[in-house]
Amino acid sequence: MKKIIIGIAVIILIVAGVSYFGKNSSQPSVKEPIKIGVILPLTGEVASLGENIKNGASLAFNELSENIKQKTQLVFEDDGFQPKNTVSAFNKLVNTDGADVIICFASGPCNAIAPIADQKQIPLIAVASAPVQKDREFVVRLEISTVEEAKKLSQFIKEKGYTRVASIVAVQDGIQSGYKALSSDSVFLLKEVASESVKPDEKDFRTIVSKLISKKPDLIFVGLLPGMAGEFGKQARAWLQRRFCRV
């Protein structure tokens, strides 16, 4: 939900900002409408999340003034949460649809197009936790850093007095970036008793659940994609009296 709110806020700021500066500038106005390309996972494992973001962005756009709406256009493209598809979606939005600004979602997809956006000098708004904007002039990241996330979680573990933590982590850019930051924290590192990595398309967690439970953790850190986390929760139902912590 946090990413949805950020996505909506980004669109409002871009549209309102361009409208204001265009109206108050003595330079020739930018061609209209200003096209904002939004790349989302509208199919695949996290399609429901992508649809929610699309609906939120559309709702925010409809709340804008008629003057701004007449000068802008949202163009959505689906990448199925696959970085190679994100590149194709980016190229279509820029080369065919003439998008002036691109918004992408999640670290993996955003990482795939960040260097292309910078090379083509197309402003890219990345709603991603990984540092996709590093050393890039045309890329802006709008998300809390993985280091800050790790600090908050480590503080939570310490305050609750948990002494045994198990982890299950998907092999995905954003999640791995967050887990790396968390693993470098001395508090978390001393308390982690088990760690399992899984592919982003994994659906059978029964063996992993058994391994994690055998270590008798006080808390399970679940670093999985939305669809995966739900399936993991179902398969770990017998252990629900324990505590889960998901990012």
Find, among 97, 184, 195, 182, the residue nearest to 146 by Cα. Answer: 182
At 22 the pLDDT is: 46
Find, among 225, 6, 201, 103, the residue nearest to 113 by Cα. Answer: 103
CB atoms within 10 A of CB 65: 11
73 phi and psi angles, rounded to 5 deg: -150, 130
Residues of the chain within CATH 3.40.50.2300 domain(s) are 2-141, 146-246
At 182 the pLDDT is: 83
At 188 the pLDDT is: 79
Answer for the pair 77, 93: CB distance below 8 angstroms, yes or no.
yes
At 5 the pLDDT is: 46
CB atoms within 10 A of CB 153: 21
Residues 231, 143, 113, 168: is their CA dihedral positive or negative?
Answer: negative
pTM: 0.72
Q: Where are the alpha helices (DSSP H) in 80-215?
A: 83-91, 107-120, 146-160, 173-183, 186-191, 206-214
Q: Which fold has domain 2-141?
A: Rossmann fold (3.40.50)
pLDDT digits (tens), the chain, 247 positions? 445 445 545 555 555 554 444 444 454 455 578 889 999 999 987 888 889 889 888 888 888 788 878 888 899 999 999 999 999 999 999 999 999 999 998 888 999 999 999 999 999 999 888 888 889 999 988 877 777 888 888 888 888 888 899 999 998 877 888 888 888 887 777 788 999 999 988 889 989 988 998 998 888 889 888 778 888 888 887 665 555 555 5
At 4 the pLDDT is: 44
Domain 146-246 homologous superfamily, CATH: Response regulator (3.40.50.2300)
